[in-house]
Structure 1
Amino acid sequence: MRKIYVIDTNVLLHDPQAMFSFEDNEVVIPSVVLEEIDSKKRLADEIGRNARFVSRELDRLRENGHLHDGVALDNGGSLKVEMNHRRFVRVQELFGEMTNDNRILAVALNYHMEEQEREGGGCPVILVSKDVLVRVKADVLGIMTEDYLSDRAASPSDQYAGHLTLHVHPSVIDEFYTYRFLGINHLGLNVKLMPNEFVILRDELGTSKSALLKVSPDGHRLEPLHLSNDPVWGITARNAQQRMALELLLNDDIPLVTLSGRAGTGKTLLTLAAGLMKVEDEHKYKKLLIARPVVPMGKDIGYLPGEKEEKLRPWMQPIYDNLEFLFDTKKSGDLDKILMGLGSIQVEALTYIRGRSIPGQFIIIDEAQNLSKHEVKTIVSRVGENSKIVLLGDPEQIDHPYLDAMSNGLTYLIEQFKAEGISGHVTLEKGERSRLAQLAAERL
């Protein structure tokens, strides 16, 4: 049955292609949405870019006819710009003043009432919004409502972790220790393994016999880890997943690494230690570039006093804290002297590395869960020859207003590259910062 989807502004600002994602159904954009899009198009960030893209697409669709009458889309559906919010009485009775959200609700309600009056009940009307309270209000009005899910990389239950545990006959484990590799088919299990995925083999008979292996880049066999558990810049892996992370971080044949996990699992510390070893000890890369997106919870960076370095310091302090630990500094100011003397470590806001081509560097992007799909594409596509890029983040801690655990750039990148032999991923699960930090991450 054909459906009518009324689209909220936040859906288009989150995914400017959203208007083409509803198959052969009717898409309705309330006129107030155009006003909100227009108010955002001068912004210099991702939201402004999306607003400008939506504006250009709507202008292009005008070539197919009048938008207020509805125009056909290539997917068999149609799109219409609707001003039908004049019957505002019912919404006003429940929610008061005519805010932009309430105008959008009025459009959806009027469509719903008109369809209900048709013979046979008409078409279902569904309001699509990423705003939880708008969806709650729609439910109060009796309107069907949905979150926008078309751009989600994977459902929570299907997220790629980069490692799994398999229970096998002990003879399989013995065979691995004898020959130092296993063919994928030798497992005798119907399991699809990805390149560079880690596998923990455990004895199905219940003994303590086990083995930690990694899928080869071509995905054909299981191999032992190449690295011992020796300290890396004074840091030793405390659990199996941290050891997996170091295996990826120190492998020069894997130029793209993603690490996810809750606060305190060691993502940033392990990555900084690996980067320092590669840059300062092995001289594999010319520079260690560390960046994180500036997603403010208060005043933006432009409003803070001082020069660029002074403005960046509060945002980059978690990076500096980890560097102070690795360099074992004792006094305030010691780290700045060390960084100035080395000259090969650069800490930047992500804003300042966009548009650059970055060859021969070990690049760390922290808090990558606050990046959109487009921003991740922009960053990764700038990586030059002989560079390695590592993206870190916790998809459960997102500060961006239009992203969630399933639609952020980090999750998207993990899912898109999980089958590629040049990339590797590990989800770190065990907190190692302190017992208190682990309990806080689990219970708060």
Structure 2
Amino acid sequence: MDEAKRIYVLDTSVLLQDPSSIYQFQPHEVVIPAIVLEEVDAKKRQMDEVGHNARRIARMIDQLREGGKLHQGVLLDRGGFIRIELNHRSFHHLKHAFADRTNDNRIIAVALNLQLEENEKAAGRKVILVSKDAIVRVKADAFDLQSEDFLNERIVEKDEGYMGYVHVESDPEMLTQLFQTRTLQTRDVVSSCYPHQFLLLQDPLKRSSSALAKVDALGQTLSPVTGRDEAIWGIQARNVQQKMVLELLLNKDIPLVTLVGKAGTGKTLLSLAAGLFQTEDMHAYRKMVVTRPLVPLGKDIGYLPGEKEEKLRPWMQPIYDNLDFLFGTKKQVELDRILSGMGAIQIEALTYIRGRSMPDQYMIIDEAQNLTKHEVKTILTRVGERSKVVLMGDPEQIDHPYLDEYTNGLTYAVETFKEEALSGHVKLVKGERSTLAQLAADLL
């Protein structure tokens, strides 16, 4: 078979995640089964990112009609070829294993029939089914049909993500100099680093001799991080990563902070405590806004009665739980009374944040791993002057159907901004909620 030219059959999940994917396979041929267009059409009325992408891919395919009839194929600029497949829909080769004519099975049938047809040619091409759906890829393997995940949207490969800190072996003289002069040249310690990155310096011969240092905004000097002796709204750092987090959250010169960590590592609690301290005590910001995307875990709870605040309460309950702890309240009415009296605290769904201008505000965006790259861009491009944004979440716990830990908006923001002087990042690894919570996060 000719390996130089291949046929890529695209699943609906690929188009809905990245509409420009139809141009990513040149100079090879791209085939879109007709059933994929029907699935895309069914999503176009949704008012979320999936609906936005469905409408976008519809416009892109419509523009391709100017180059010819799509069912016959259209030549692309860089030598690729794209067509809508109306034939090859027979279930003859699938019926013994998957008799149900589901949309996924129809897509597999198109790819399989194309491959069988190519096998009969003297110079037949390899047919590859591309899908974000793991079950579709598993089914394809059952028929010896080559299948792949769509990796073009990946920001990082596995275990290669930026953590915000590094461990560095250091001699005792350098540690002494750091504490005496309060500064070191980064080039004397590490070969390369990022702005606001943390360095855990440790004497290899004396493990108890160590120091935590932070790179400046220009990446040229190091200064020691000693942490705060007094509690912030009753909260103190309980491990070295939490100490890093508070250092970034309380620095007004860092307008973007990204936090990644499993459940129970303290992301939300530390962010809220730092926000309350800077908004209510220091008056560094005019308002604190806390928000999260409305993506349900499990089955959607449907329509809810009441006013907007009552409807949003189940979605925003994790935020209220942390505020209960910070304010020491035991009843919902007590917390509601406090929040209504403190007009500087606003809890909103992300749906109501988009499109607004947010100057002089401390913004916390929880569960940011459920945002797409486009949504993160939409949010950050609307941040006003003198505002601070905290993006946080756990990329391993994603409820969005077309995202994973390597393609979500939070990971995108972390990797995109790691070289910028206006941002800082920390990956928290140690849970502090409870021994059981940490064990569950590790084992499950």
Fold agreement, TM-score > 0.5: yes
Instruction: Tell me the SS of whatever aligns to 2:107.
Output: helix
Change (3 A) 1:221 1:104: same
Aligned AA (1:14): Q
2:88–2:114 contact (8 Å) kept in structure 1 = no
1:231 aligns with 2:234: no
**Aligned equivalents of 1:372, 1:22: Cα separation in 2:** 22
1:107 aligns with 2:110: yes
Deviation at 1:348, TM superposition (A): 0.7
Structure 2 residue ranges without an equivalent (≥5): none
Query: 2:380 is matched with which residue?
Result: 380
Partner of 2:73: 70
Q: Name the stretch that deviates more: 222-231 or 67-76.
A: 222-231
User: Per the alignment, do residues 226 and 357 of structure 1 end up closer, same or farther by CA in structure 2, a change over 3 Å counting?
Assistant: farther
Residues 226 and 438 (structure 1), Cα distance of their counterparts in 2 relative to 1, 3 Å cut: closer
Distance across 2 between alignment mates of 1:75 and 1:175: 58
Superposed displacement of residue 86, structure 1: 3.1
Structure 1 residues 53 and 226: CA distance shift in structure 2, 3 A: farther
Question: TM-score normalized by structure 1?
Answer: 0.96
Match of 2:163 in 1: 161
Give distance in 2, aligned partners of 1:396 and 1:148: 18
1:59–1:226: structure 2 CA closer, same or farther, 3 Å change rule? Answer: farther
Total equivalences in the alignment: 441
Shift of 1:316: 0.7
| Deviation at residue 84 of structure 1 after TM alignment | 2.3
Separation in structure 1 between the aligned mates of residue 301 and residue 413 of structure 2, nearest angstrom: 27
**3-state SS of paired residue (1:252):** coil
1:379-428 Cα distance to aligned partner (Å, 9 max, x none): 11111111111011011111111111111110111011010000011000
The aligned runs of 1:126-145 (5 Å cut-off) are 126-145=128-147
- The one-letter amino acid paired with 2:122 is E
For residue 47 of structure 2, what is the aligned residue in structure 1? 44
Tell me the distance in 2 between the aligned counterparts of 1:281 and 1:400: 37
Shift of 1:299: 6.0
- Percent identity, aligned pairs only, is 59
- Counterpart of 1:146 in structure 2 is 148
Give 1:302 shift. 6.1
CA distance in 2, matches of 1:217, 1:65: 53
* Secondary structure at 1:157 match in 2: coil
**1:223 to partner: Cα distance:** 1.8
Which residue of structure 2 lines up, in the alignment, with residue 271 of structure 1? 271
Q: More displaced, 97-106 or 55-64?
A: 97-106
Give the match for residue 219 of structure 1: 219
Shift of residue 300 of structure 1? 4.7
Deviation at 1:305, TM superposition (A): 1.8
Kept after mapping to 2: 8 A contact 1:87/1:110: yes
1:355 Cα deviation (Å)? 0.7
CA offsets per residue over residues 192-229 of structure 1, 9 Å max, x none?
31111111001122342111011111111222237534
Equivalent residues of 1:173, 1:211 under 8 A apart: yes
Deviations for 1:111-141, whole angstroms, at most 9, x for unmatched residues?
Answer: 1112211214x22211011111111110001
Q: How does 1:13-92 map onto structure 2 within 5 Å?
A: 13-92=16-95
What amino acid does structure 1 have at the position aligned with 2:181?
A: Y
Q: Is 1:98 paired with 2:112?
A: no
What SS does structure 2 have at the residue aligned with 1:124?
A: strand
Q: Deviations over 1:356-396 (max 9, x none)?
A: 01111100000111111111111111111111110110111
- SS of the counterpart of 1:288? strand
Going from structure 1 to structure 2, the CA distance change for 1:171 and 1:74 (only over 3 Å counts) comes to farther
User: 1:423 matched to which residue of 2?
Assistant: 423
Q: Secondary structure at the match of 2:247?
A: helix
| Structure 1 segments unaligned to the other structure (5+ residues) | none
Distance 2:241 2:260 in 1: 11
Structure 2 residue 323 is the aligned partner of structure 1 residue 323 = yes
Q: Secondary structure at the match of 1:405?
A: coil
Cα deviations across residues 86-116 of structure 1 (Å, max 9, x unaligned)? 3320012220022211111111011111221
SS in 2 for 1:212: strand
Task: Find the residue that maps to 2:222 and give its secondary structure.
Answer: strand
